[in-house]
């Protein structure tokens, strides 16, 4: 796909505006919205965007930056999953710690927000502290966020421990939304002013993009991505009343702005410099867009991907009907159909063809890959391997120019793995999944030059689009994502089994 976004221009613009904010304070608390590392959504809707742009920007400022990670105790307790990595929020905190260190960035501490001695959270705290990670516990403040007199007092923010920091920019990040970043920033502001220092707050935003139209596909794609949070983009009425300029923000920020403004004014003892939610944020995304047509097209494809994710999550019981209906409205709003995703129809057609030879209504699991040159490569589940595995092998054969009839994997190795699963591991599922097939391929590549040739093409699958006629198991879904394949699924289980799928 052609680039529609200039990542270097974006980083330059964003870093410049952050430094301008820092100059006004002894210390700036910068709340990061979205993912700090590996922002796949931004990469998909802004072709050319560097998914690690935020962390690279912080690297440029690393002598002035340290990082606090916030996580809500309730998310730890209910094992909330981060969808793009398939891991729980507590594990995502550990992953973040490792990744930030690999970028040579200083991590100050982890803050547990709305802590009330939850058992699983206590285990997590012990795990961190025994690895010499500082942990702070912030409890729920009575009357939050309405009772400002209590919030901005020794019984409110004053009851939270002060987090000592040494850099002029303190970045607040989290595994996901509603993790308590804003409350932690404001709590720190309270303590800084109590100690006689002038501190400020800003929000590092990516979406929605304030200076794109309300109904621009990029902004609508953000609504689709946050369907579970029920975020809705709106015109920032505060900004319009003050500056007579139309800007876009989202409902949660607009609803909270009067409260946040009053809290900041009570902490500082003077009028806030922020007259609108838009004022609070540092967002220069629009200045990096170099081809609006490319960006709009990519955003529409992201909306369709999010539609399929929503209907599957509803089928799994992870989303309510209100979220599903909202997603359907978004599709209608942008006049999109499921079939506008190019790999959908080939997958469905192949499944329909296979179904002609079936004698019942069993789900046919077929996956179609849309390659970079537009070629459609398919794979179907069999007694030997599942559909994802078959499609991966067929795709790398195509990329390597290897004929379909040539085997990449030794039948002896495949049968040995199947026997191990069935006889020694007592697995109910004997066909091989994507992970097992890739391991087998790496083994065969050692002695088979043809397998080696195909193995070397795996990296070329990055950016391939895929659609499956049934919901993939978590393992295959993660393998496809690690290969860089954007996959969607129909909301059907691959079998009637409740557990062994």
Tens-digit pLDDT profile for residues 23-54: 889 999 999 988 888 899 999 999 999 999 99
What number of other Cβ atoms are within 10 A of residue 471's Cβ?
22
Structure confidence at residue 501 (pLDDT): 56
pLDDT of 153 above 70: yes
Structure confidence at residue 429 (pLDDT): 82
Q: By residue range, what is the domain housing residue 157?
A: 7-288
Can you tell me the mean pLDDT for 321-342? 97
Tell how many helices (H) and how many strands (E) occur in the chain. 20, 15
Do 260 and 347 share a domain, yes or no?
no
Do 380 and 238 share a domain, yes or no?
no
Do 34 and 156 share a domain, yes or no?
yes
pLDDT of 425 above 90: no
Do 159 and 236 share a domain, yes or no?
yes
Q: How much of the chain exceeds pLDDT 90, in percent?
A: 82
Mark which of 267, 288, 309 sits at the end of a domain.
288
Q: How far apart are the first and last CA of the chain?
A: 34
Q: Is 308 within the bounds of a domain?
A: no
Structure confidence at residue 430 (pLDDT): 81
CA–CA distance, 290 with 263 (Å, rounded to integer): 39
Structure confidence at residue 81 (pLDDT): 81
100 three-class SS:
helix
| Structural element, H or E, at residue 240 | helix 237-243
Can you tell me the mean pLDDT for 342-369? 89
3-state helix, strand, coil in the chain (%, to 5): 50, 15, 40
Can you tell me the mean pLDDT for 334-342? 98
pLDDT of 470 above 60: yes
pLDDT band at 359 (very low <50, low <70, confident <90, very high): low
CATH number of the domain at 389, please: 3.40.140.40
Omega into 208 within 30° of 0, i.e. cis?
A: yes
Q: Which residues of 321-353 are buried (b: 16+ CB within 10 A; e: fewer)?
A: eebbebbeebbeebebebeebebbebbbebbee
CA–CA distance, 303 with 3 (Å, rounded to integer): 19
Mark which of 258, 288, 318 sits at the end of a domain.
288
What number of other Cβ atoms are within 10 A of residue 492's Cβ?
16
Beta bridge mates, 110? 69, 135
Structure confidence at residue 500 (pLDDT): 57
Q: Is 105 within the bounds of a domain?
A: yes
Structure confidence at residue 128 (pLDDT): 98
pLDDT band at 419 (very low <50, low <70, confident <90, very high): confident
pLDDT of 299 above 80: yes
pLDDT band at 181 (very low <50, low <70, confident <90, very high): very high
Q: Given the structure tokens 């994710």, which residue do they identify?
A: 309
pLDDT of 363 above 80: no
Structure confidence at residue 176 (pLDDT): 87
Contacts of 55 (CB under 8 A, 6+ apart): 36, 37, 99, 100, 103, 105
Do 213 and 80 share a domain, yes or no?
yes
- Distance (Å) of CA 364 to CA 350, 394, 463: 9, 18, 25
Do 259 and 352 share a domain, yes or no?
no
Q: Is 478 within the bounds of a domain?
A: yes
Q: Given the structure tokens 């690393």, which residue do they identify?
A: 62
Do 375 and 257 share a domain, yes or no?
no
pLDDT band at 360 (very low <50, low <70, confident <90, very high): low
The model's pLDDT over 191-210, given as tens digits with 9 standing for 90+, comes to 999 999 999 999 998 999 99
Do 361 and 257 share a domain, yes or no?
no
Q: Is 107 within the bounds of a domain?
A: yes
Q: Is 310 within the bounds of a domain?
A: no
Q: Is 498 within the bounds of a domain?
A: no
Structure confidence at residue 361 (pLDDT): 64
Q: Is 309 within the bounds of a domain?
A: no
Do 274 and 383 share a domain, yes or no?
no
Contacts of 126 (CB under 8 A, 6+ apart): none
pLDDT band at 111 (very low <50, low <70, confident <90, very high): very high
Do 272 and 161 share a domain, yes or no?
yes
Do 263 and 124 share a domain, yes or no?
yes
Do 477 and 414 share a domain, yes or no?
yes
Mark which of 244, 268, 288 sits at the end of a domain.
288
pLDDT of 427 above 90: no
CATH number of the domain at 142, please: 3.10.630.10
Measured N-to-C along each axis, helices 321-333 and 217-225 cross at an angle, to the nearest 10 degrees, of: 170
CA–CA distance, 244 with 137 (Å, rounded to integer): 42
501's tokens: 């799928």
How many domains is the chain built from?
A: 2
| Mean pLDDT of all residues belonging to the chain | 94
72 close to 34: Cβ distance less than 8 angstroms: no
pLDDT of 246 above 60: yes
């Amino acid at each position: 796909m052609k680039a529609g976004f200039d990542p270097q221009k974006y980083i330059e613009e964003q870093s410049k505006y952050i430094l301008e904010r820092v100059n006004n304070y002894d210390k700036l608390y910068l709340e990061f919205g979205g993912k700090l590392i590996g922002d796949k959504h931004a990469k998909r809707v802004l072709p050319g965007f560097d998914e690690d742009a935020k962390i690279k920007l912080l690297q440029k400022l690393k002598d002035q930056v340290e990082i606090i990670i916030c996580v809500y105790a309730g998310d730890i307790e209910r094992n909330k999953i981060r969808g793009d990595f398939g891991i729980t929020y507590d594990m995502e905190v550990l992953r973040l710690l490792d990744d930030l260190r690999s970028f040579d960035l200083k991590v100050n501490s982890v803050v547990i927000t709305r802590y009330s001695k939850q058992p699983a959270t206590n285990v997590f705290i012990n795990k961190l502290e025994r690895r010499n990670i500082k942990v702070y516990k912030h409890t729920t403040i009575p009357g939050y966020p309405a009772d400002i007199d209590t919030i901005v007092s020794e019984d409110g923010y004053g009851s939270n421990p002060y987090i000592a920091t040494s850099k002029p920019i303190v970045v607040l990040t989290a595994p996901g939304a509603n993790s308590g970043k804003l409350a932690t920033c404001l709590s720190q502001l309270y303590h800084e002013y109590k100690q006689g220092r002038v501190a400020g707050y800003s929000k590092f935003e990516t979406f929605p993009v304030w200076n794109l139209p309300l109904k621009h596909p990029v902004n609508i794609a953000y609504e689709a991505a946050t369907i579970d949070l029920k975020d809705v983009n709106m015109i920032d009425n505060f900004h319009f009343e003050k500056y007579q300029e139309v800007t876009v923000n989202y409902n949660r920020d607009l609803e909270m702005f009067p409260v946040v403004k009053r809290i900041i004014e009570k902490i500082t003892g003077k009028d806030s410099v922020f007259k609108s939610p838009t004022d609070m944020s540092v967002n220069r995304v629009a200045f990096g867009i170099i081809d609006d047509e490319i960006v709009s097209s990519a955003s529409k494809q992201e909306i369709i991907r999010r539609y399929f994710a929503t209907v599957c999550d509803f089928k799994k019981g992870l989303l309510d009907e209100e979220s599903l209906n909202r997603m359907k409205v978004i599709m209608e709003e942008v006049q999109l159909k499921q079939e506008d995703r190019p790999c959908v129809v080939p997958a469905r057609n192949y499944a329909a063809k296979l179904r002609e030879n079936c004698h019942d209504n069993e789900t046919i699991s077929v996956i179609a890959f849309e390659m970079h040159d537009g070629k459609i490569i398919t794979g179907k589940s069999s007694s030997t391997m599942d559909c994802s595995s078959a499609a991966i092998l067929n795709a790398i054969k195509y990329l390597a120019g290897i004929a379909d009839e040539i085997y990449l994997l030794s039948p002896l190795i495949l049968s040995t793995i199947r026997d191990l699963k069935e006889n020694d591991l007592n697995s109910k599922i004997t066909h091989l999944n994507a992970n097992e097939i890739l391991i087998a391929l790496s083994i065969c590549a050692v002695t088979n030059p043809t397998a080696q040739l195909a193995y070397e093409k795996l990296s070329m699958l990055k950016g391939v689009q895929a659609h499956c006629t049934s919901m993939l198991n978590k393992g295959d879904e993660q393998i496809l994502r690690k290969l860089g394949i954007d996959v969607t699924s129909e909301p059907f289980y691959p079998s009637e089994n409740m557990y062994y799928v």
